[in-house]
A and B are shown apart, each in its own frame.
With several copies, the nearest count.
Chain A
Amino acid sequence: MAKARTKSEASAGTADLTMVEAVGQALARALEEDETVILLGEDIGVDGGVFRATDGLITRFGADRVRDTPLSEAMIGGLPVGLAAMGFRPVAEIQFMGFIYPVIDQIVNHAARLRTRTRGRMTCPMVLRAPYGGGIHAPEHHSESMEAMFAHIPGLRVVIPSSPARAYGLLLAAIRDPDPVIFLEPKRIYRAAREAVVDNGGALPLDRCFTVLKGADVTLVTWGAMLKETLEAAEILAGDSVEAEIVDVATLKPLDMDTILASVSKTGRCVIVHEAPLTGGFGAEIAARLAGEGLMHLVAPVERVAGWDTVMPLLRLEGRYMPSAERIVAAARRVLEYA
């Protein structure tokens, strides 16, 4: 533990990190500050995770706390429920979101309702991390975005960072949260950019959207890796003197609709962008709320720019599947046509 403490002091400063490094930093910080934090997953130990998110952690914190598991996703979903009920804060990793489905049973039937069904006697402060999304030319089943399935489950939080600093702050918040959190990491931007991250243990709120660009003409709502294309779209629109406001949802559940409504009440126009298939995607929930409480602000139809309702194609066609800046711009221009 002495070694860990030294390391902690050393790393208390600011560093330019990629998102995957920021995830690792947050995990290290959590392991350091709270001895009930336990990491588990496939290949997270000596290998440091297939994306290196846990690189070096087994050396610093030992194989008891950074545990390679057998290849058993249902178990990886369920064992943490037992650990959490007994006072630990497990952070489990599913290697790719395409392999997360066997975990859903444990999340719906146990993790998300342990507090409710025992009237608070038992709680489940576990975090389930998984890289998700397309665009890295990964093999079949490695590129899906199924956040909407989780956002429908009562009792859960669903969090998706879009930058290194938000990854750090949101993951720390997720680990400290007293209830179960699904933390989905947009792997396409794991190494896309570096950002200054202050390793001071500062968490970000888990019930707030982030307005990442101010603008008065149209609201662009997105999360995760699609923030990149959305920012690009905003830049193209700026060339036409259109000022886009961009909201990074970050925490899908519970949804901070107030921030989105405030923006749309100003712009009257909204384009929602996500990578997951359109139908039943989480964009539907946001658009539905705009059709409800937000209706009177809308001057134009709500557009959703999303993945097609198709199976995520293999790498050759994945570029044609994912929303592009051009598609976002085109949607924005359509909604701007309304007076």
Chain B
Amino acid sequence: MSIVASFEIAHTRVLGPDGKVEGELPPFARDRDALVALYRWMVLTRAFDAKAVALQRTGRLGTYASGIGQEAVCVGAAHAMTPDDVLLPSFREHGAQLVRGVTMQELLLYWGGDERGSDFAGPRQDFPVCIPVGTHAPHAAGAALAFKLRDEPSVAVCIFGDGATSRGDVYEAMNVAGAWTLPVVFIANNNQWAISVPRPAQTAAETLAQKAVAAGFEGLQVDGNDVIAVRQATTEALDKARSGNGPTLIEALTYRLGDHTTVDDASRYRDDEEVGRHWKEEPIARLRSYLTAAHGWQKAEEEALIAACAAEVEDAAESYLAASPEPPEAMFDYLYEELPADAARQRAAMLAQE
């Protein structure tokens, strides 16, 4: 017997749950403004989430998937990207989309049931939300192939959940990305639950990072409640991809503090005690502790930031609510570049019904 291959999965963390530095502080994280920027995005994301849930509860938004607790994964990953990179989010990465430049009004339109919400004015090359779990992973490989063929420095960043790692198409996409050394970063947003299915029931793999072993490239774990570690790991993976060294899978360990969506009731399948434990690890308080201790973050600053975020969210909600309804024929008007005669007759029939 001989050993023909061996693998190790590394785990990194910079800030511990209490905000104390445990790992090595990357250069960018020495800058107060840089950290405040990350902090602000996380706070804004959480404020947006709360508003979206409130809108749903009052019948003004459709089913919504809150990302509460997972702000560091979204913000850290998106903040590491350049504008020319492409984000392929799943459906819970509102924070990442916001950082990329998708507006809150657009997000609300989408979750409010209006396709115009996916016609981003900002990052026009970013993909819309992907609801069928994991089906966007092949698109990420495709986008990455486009960059490689055009010799562009862009990288595709694909985020999906722990549940998604059980999907065959995620595996197929990772495998081809490895085989073709494509510039793509896969991020498994491991929030420990796929609706009611806990992470250990999803797979016998000790880590999700090791899913990359099957695809022949590096997988690593990062503390997903530590925005500094997430941002740094993403930056390194992006650099590697950009310099032609292929894909990376980053497993970001975090926790879904809320229900799966507004139609879910998580108390049916997990106990409050577990949730309570994870509240002690959450990313916003963690960075705030560090900012306070290391950079003298002031109560007044905190209050101003929270007020500013709240105002931004309110503004967005108002313009969302004020948006004019889309004409129903829109469902025909973007079906094909040119509407075939057959469908055009249906369009006319629909309008004639008024």
Contacts and interface: CB of A to CB of B under 8 A. Distances in A.
Direct contact of A and B (CB under 8 A): yes
Interface size class of B (residues with CB under 8 A): 35 or more
Nearest to B194: A71
A317 B336 CA distance: 18
A6 interface: no
Contact of B342 (A48, A279, A314): A279
Given A71-B202, A86-B147, A117-B118, A123 B331 contact: no
Q: Which of A68, A86, A121, A278 has the most CB of B within 10 A?
A: A86
Nearest to B154: A86
B337 A82 contact: no
A120 B62 contact: no
Contact of A71 (B140, B164, B341): B164
Contact of B112 (A80, A256, A316, A318): A316
Contacts of A42: 194-195, 197
Contacts of B139: 78-79, 81-82, 85, 110
A148 B63 CA distance: 28
Contact of B346 (A48, A69, A117, A308): A308
B245 to A, nearest CB: 18
A309 B343 contact: yes
B342 A257 contact: yes
Nearest to A111: B139
Contacts of A123: 337
Interface stretch (B11-19, B128-136, B218-226, B287-295): B128-136
Given A74-B172, A207-B340, A47 B269 contact: yes
A47 B335 contact: no
Say whether chain A's binding surface is mostly helix, strand, loop, or mixed. Answer: loop
Interface in B299-347: 325-326, 328, 330-332, 334-337, 340-343, 346-347
Contact of B141 (A82, A179, A256, A317): A82
Contacts of A308: 331-332, 343, 346-347, 350
Contacts of A135: none
B120 interface: yes
A72 interface: yes
Given A71-B164, A141-B131, A315 B113 contact: yes
A199 B233 CA distance: 52
B22 interface: no
Given A121-B124, A137-B62, A320 B350 contact: yes
A255 interface: yes
Contacts of A301: none
Nearest to B168: A74
A310 interface: yes
Contacts of A77: 138
Interface stretch (B25-33, B45-53, B173-181, B276-284): B173-181
Given A82-B145, A179-B336, A75 B342 contact: no
Contacts of A207: 340-341
A72 B178 CA distance: 13
Contacts of B176: 69-70, 72, 75, 79
A317 B111 CA distance: 13
Contacts of A106: 135, 138, 169
Contact of A79 (B114, B138, B194): B138
B269 A38 contact: no
8 residue pairs, one from A and one from B, having the closest CB atoms: A82-B142, A78-B138, A315-B113, A254-B340, A86-B146, A47-B196, A82-B139, A70-B166
Interface of A: 38, 42-43, 45-48, 50, 64-65, 68-75, 77-88, 90, 98-99, 102, 105-106, 109-110, 115-123, 137-142, 154-155, 178-179, 207, 254-258, 278-279, 308-311, 313-318, 320-321, 326-327, 330
24 contacts: A43-B196, A47-B196, A50-B264, A70-B166, A70-B176, A71-B133, A71-B163, A72-B166, A74-B172, A75-B173, A78-B142, A80-B142, A82-B142, A87-B146, A98-B132, A105-B169, A110-B139, A116-B335, A118-B334, A155-B335, A308-B331, A314-B62, A316-B113, A318-B113
